[in-house]
Structure 1
């Protein structure tokens, strides 16, 4: 774990998560509040496309550096899958949270004077329990898509994995905006909440996505497409991360994106 912290690539990956989440939150929220005259369902489609295209673009740009999680729920899911170390997961989540706060603060500084809201995730006509279920299911499909499309064991994936993940984000927003504003990302929910100091029902946007992400990992990694039961190898990964060239499930060091990257030499 200490050796991991001493590598340049580790900090490049953390920086990529910070910058990526900053841009994701900035672009998504800007699209959501930038036109006060937009009406539903036009506004829903606009916001869904903004988040989906932003995620696809950023995953394409940063995937080879950090894995482009840009979402604590994804990072925790990958951790449960034993594809990254606990240390890396903690730093990723911290970077994502800080990036979301910075992105929200930027939007706060440039928003039109007539706009008061920062597009906080809010419950619309549903109870907290129903919202939890919605966030859980929406995040489950997103993380399932992320794990499946970035699985290096597969040889049948055609087209662009980042585009597929972006479509998954778009789909989640199209289905969930009318209910919860579609969080599916604790960092994206936390940034505007902190800047606006409004944490009403905020637990929903942590509990739902985190539970959904972990459930997706259990379903994919242990039931649908098991990676094996090498407990020693899994524990080693959690402590030290995956070394370059590791044959543990044919995973690459940076969480299934590139087998040539060298920033995880432990």
Structure 2
């Protein structure tokens, strides 16, 4: 079981140069992602006089987040692993791929990156509102919770399959684009219902800057449950034991 490999980490880990560099990379990657994703929504609102709830707005949001996440994961992959998401970091922790202390360092960096991105957006747009995630009409918190669990499960499962699995081989080359694609696809599926966060940091920045906390817990609990389940299931069934054998070779 992957849970047996959970590690706390050493007390001095947070001050090690490589850990600090990794945290800085997470801060920058999250800032890039949130600035582009949240900014695209603000730009669409400005162009359409707050018409972001239209089908075109949903497609625009999906494309912007898919493109931005592809870049954000790519630029951070060689330094921090390119998590750009507390739920991904939590999944990595549950699977024994990152220590608790380094994970907390990543969380702090990701949350700060999101807040700074939203502050920069508010300033550079002349004070336009950075809208917090919210539930659509007739969508309950339990509906939204299930959405966030399932969507984040798909995201973290994709991360494990394309980036974490030691058997991934050349598939790792497409990991950033696969991760971006699943986020874009999930926004098309869930964006009209609860905004399709899948990422507590993405929800946290706009909530802080706009100081809007209604149902904010959904955007933490859902992604963390979904990310943790994906890590446990993928690691237990596909990493913890061999899923295929190499074909025998024949001497000629």
Question: For this structure pair, what is the TM-score category when the shorter chain's length is used for normalisation?
Answer: 0.7 to 0.9
Q: Could you tell me whether the CA contact under 8 Å between 1:120 and 1:181 is conserved in 2?
A: no
1:107: which partner in 2?
121
1:146 aligns with 2:146: no
**Which structure 2 residues correspond to residues 21-100 of structure 1 after superposition, within 5 A?**
21-36=30-45, 37=48, 38=51, 40-100=54-114
2:18: which partner in 1?
9
TM-score (normalised: structure 1): 0.80
Query: C-alpha root-mean-square deviation of aligned residues, in Å?
Result: 1.7
Q: Could you tell me whether the CA contact under 8 Å between 1:34 and 1:112 is conserved in 2?
A: no
- Count of residue correspondences: 226
1:124 aligns with 2:148: no
Secondary structure at the counterpart of residue 44 of structure 2: coil
Q: Which has the higher helix share?
A: 2
**Which structure 2 residues correspond to residues 179-194 of structure 1 after superposition, within 5 A?**
179-194=193-208
In structure 2, distance between residues paired with 1:224 and 1:152: 10
Runs of 4+ in 1 over 4 A off after TM superposition: none
In structure 2, distance between residues paired with 1:25 and 1:12: 20
In structure 2, distance between residues paired with 1:119 and 1:171: 21
Structure 2 unaligned segments of length 5 or more: list them.
1-9, 243-252
Shift of the 14–156 alpha-carbon distance from structure 1 to 2, 3 Å rule, reads: closer
In structure 2, distance between residues paired with 1:61 and 1:85: 22
Structure 1 unaligned segments of length 5 or more: list them.
229-266
TM-superposed deviation, 1:3: 4.8
1:236: which partner in 2?
none
